[in-house]
């Protein structure tokens, strides 16, 4: 079969750092080709080379058999290559049509011809079953819809080859399913697709072949039907990976965290947590499953003191901590892995060493009488770096910004676990991380539990919640609508609960009996 794109022996350097070395990727016409690799393996670099954002130091790119030099994204567009970025490039208060034509506005007598463009876009949307309203404003539509607008944008510009960069990172499980069928439809219509991801499940489901890169090196290409997730993970990480998190049964003891009838409002003063009750005991991991936006963020912020509690009571170890200042709450024994590691978790301009001190800098031995002891801080940092396998170029002196996402997250977890808190709150602890890092983080959470600590895990990933938790509390519209045992539930049941369909859940349960 004919190759629409061939990237042969690509090498890309940044200073002394080799981001891509001798990578070969051949995309056949009409296939979905997955590009698999850990964070920082060089996937995005390779795709940016293809999209004309970077120029390779060595290697050749062929499009439809002809050797080409892709000097900029416009050239890539002309060659029929379109990219759907992980972070959408859309103008929030423009309509779908306005966004799609932006940069190549069709004109009629010197005026923008929106009407015809909207018609074309509606037709395209129908053809690919995208169900997008060309006149809706971007800020009014869901993330999944916005992604479809990005897809439409590439199609409108005549793309034959579509690159998807981590397309499922911000989607709900339902949206992911829909995206997968859109991808298959695109193939049917003769498009070719490269999908960048580190989610093995999606690769197995949707791709025809997989090219794996590890630490900038091309490892090879395999046919999806002839491989399995274990083999892929091994190729990607370079060693064996356990998927099923191994853990003993929980032996929960006394209650550590108790939340009673909690009400919390968000920044617009809209009630997001509406009378929530929850308890977490020593020696167990409670997972909060739910779709983003059902009050998870507000709940965590209320527990940790970052947001005011409207009413209700939060107790930790029998002590009322409602409305205390964040530091007081931290000192009462809560560790917090925040959901946004860049916003809350780290001061990116500080070194990793200084970040390790973020919660404890004011205590001995890290400081004394108001004077910092950076020697002790760096010692402590080295210990955490060692213990939590944080990989950084210059050890504790590396700027936090220079670390990969996984290593930043390991540093935060190290800092929080090192304080030995009674309750560890882990909010989306593995978001955007690769299997190696996820495995590591899960085992650390379980280790905390086995040490007799309480762990509260908030996640949008069903797999994660089901694998790691001992108890699953499903949050919907600001309350815990049900608590289930992960061993006795199914993804189907959880999915329905997360969508707030209590009645249907009962029906499913009864049907099972």
Partner 1 sequence: MSNRVVNILVPVVSIIIGLIVGAIVMVVSGYDPVLGYTALWNGIFGDSYSIGNTIRQITPYILSGLAVAFAFRTGLFNIGVEGQLLMGWLAAAYVGYAFELPRFIHLPLALLAAAAAGAFWAFIVGFLKAKFSVHEVIASIMLNYTALHITNAVIRNLSDGSFKTPTVLESATLRMPWLREITDNSSLHLGIIVALLMVFVMWFILEKTTRGYELKSVGFNKDAAEYAGMNVKKNIILAMTISGVFAGLAGAMEALGTFQNASIKAGFSGIGFDGIAVALLGANTPLGVVFGASLFGSLKYGALNMPNEAGIPEEIVAIIIALIIFFVASGYIIRLGLQKFGKKKEGQ
| Interface ranges with partner 1 (CB under 8 A) | 304, 306, 325-328, 330, 336, 338, 343-350, 354, 357-359, 361-362, 367, 370-372
CB closer to partner 1, 88 vs 361? 361
Q: Which two tokens stand for residue 48?
A: 């940016």
CB closer to partner 1, 348 vs 462? 348
Cα angle: 381, vertex 383, 388; to 5 degrees: 95
From 292, 301, 296, select the one nearest 479 (Cα to Cα): 296
CB closer to partner 1, 19 vs 357? 357
CB closer to partner 1, 112 vs 347? 347
- Asked if the peptide bond before residue 365 counts as cis, ω within 30 degrees of 0, the response is yes
Rg (CA), the chain: 25
- Report the nearest approach of partner 1 to the CB of residue 372 (Å): 6
- Report the nearest approach of partner 1 to the CB of residue 54 (Å): 15
H or E segment to which residue 125 belongs: helix 114-127
CA 238 remoteness from chain centre: 22
CB closer to partner 1, 275 vs 326? 326
Q: Which two tokens stand for residue 34?
A: 């997955």
State how far the Cα of 282 lies from the Cα of 45, in Å rounded to an integer. Answer: 45
CA 411 remoteness from chain centre: 17
From 243, 289, 232, 204, select the one nearest 476 (Cα to Cα): 289
| Distance between first and last Cα of the chain | 51
State how far the Cα of 152 lies from the Cα of 135, in Å rounded to an integer. Answer: 14
CB closer to partner 1, 300 vs 468? 300
CB closer to partner 1, 89 vs 347? 347
State how far the Cα of 486 lies from the Cα of 32, in Å rounded to an integer. Answer: 34
Q: Which two tokens stand for residue 63?
A: 């499009």
């Amino acid at each position: 079969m004919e190759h629409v794109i061939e990237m042969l022996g690509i090498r890309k350097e940044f200073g002394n750092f080799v981001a891509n070395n001798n990578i070969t990727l051949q995309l056949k016409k009409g296939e979905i080709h997955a590009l698999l690799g850990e964070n920082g393996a060089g996937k995005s670099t390779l795709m940016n080379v293809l999209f004309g954002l970077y120029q390779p130091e060595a290697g050749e790119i062929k499009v439809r058999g002809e050797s080409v030099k892709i000097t900029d994204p416009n050239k890539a567009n002309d060659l029929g290559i379109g990219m759907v970025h992980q972070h959408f490039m859309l103008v929030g208060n423009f309509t779908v049509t306005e966004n799609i034509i932006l940069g190549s506005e069709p004109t009629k007598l010197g005026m923008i011809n929106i009407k015809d463009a909207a018609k074309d876009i509606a037709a395209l949307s129908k053809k690919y079953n995208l169900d997008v309203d060309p006149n809706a404003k971007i800020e009014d539509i869901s993330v999944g819809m916005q992604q479809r607008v990005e897809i439409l944008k590439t199609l409108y510009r005549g793309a034959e080859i579509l690159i998807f960069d981590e397309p499922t990172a911000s989607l709900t499980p339902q949206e992911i399913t829909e995206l997968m069928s859109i991808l298959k439809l695109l193939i049917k219509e003769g498009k070719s697709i490269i999908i960048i991801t580190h989610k093995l499940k999606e690769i197995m489901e949707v791709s025809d072949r997989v090219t794996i890169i590890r630490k900038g090196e091309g490892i090879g290409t395999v046919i999806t039907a002839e491989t399995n997730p274990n083999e892929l993970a091994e190729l990607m990480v370079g060693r064996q990976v356990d998927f099923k998190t191994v853990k003993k049964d929980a032996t929960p003891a006394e209650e550590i965290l108790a939340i009673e009838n909690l009400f919390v409002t968000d920044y617009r003063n809209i009630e997001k947590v509406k009378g929530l009750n929850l308890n977490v005991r020593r020696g167990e991991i409670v997972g909060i499953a739910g779709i983003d936006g059902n009050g998870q963020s507000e709940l965590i912020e209320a527990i940790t003191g970052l947001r005011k509690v409207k009413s209700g009571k939060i107790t930790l170890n029998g002590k009322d901590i409602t409305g205390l200042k964040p530091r007081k709450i931290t000192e009462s024994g809560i560790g917090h892995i925040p959901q946004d590691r860049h916003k809350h978790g780290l001061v990116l301009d500080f070194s990793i060493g200084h970040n390790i001190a973020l919660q404890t800098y004011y205590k001995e031995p890290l400081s004394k009488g108001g004077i910092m002891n950076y020697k002790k801080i760096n010692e402590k940092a080295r210990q955490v770096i060692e213990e939590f396998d944080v990989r950084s170029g210059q050890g504790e002196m590396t700027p936090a910004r220079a670390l990969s996402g996984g290593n930043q997250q390991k540093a935060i977890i190290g800092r929080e676990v090192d304080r030995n808190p009674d309750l560890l709150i882990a909010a989306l602890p593995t978001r955007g991380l690769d299997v190696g890092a996820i495995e590591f983080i899960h085992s650390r959470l379980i280790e905390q539990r086995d040490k007799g600590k309480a762990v509260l895990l908030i996640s949008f990933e069903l797999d994660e919640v089901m694998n790691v938790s001992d108890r699953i509390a499903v949050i919907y519209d600001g309350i815990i609508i049900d608590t289930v045992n992960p061993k006795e539930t199914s993804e189907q049941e959880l999915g329905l609960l997360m969508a707030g369909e209590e009645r249907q859940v009962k029906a499913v349960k009864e049907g099972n009996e």
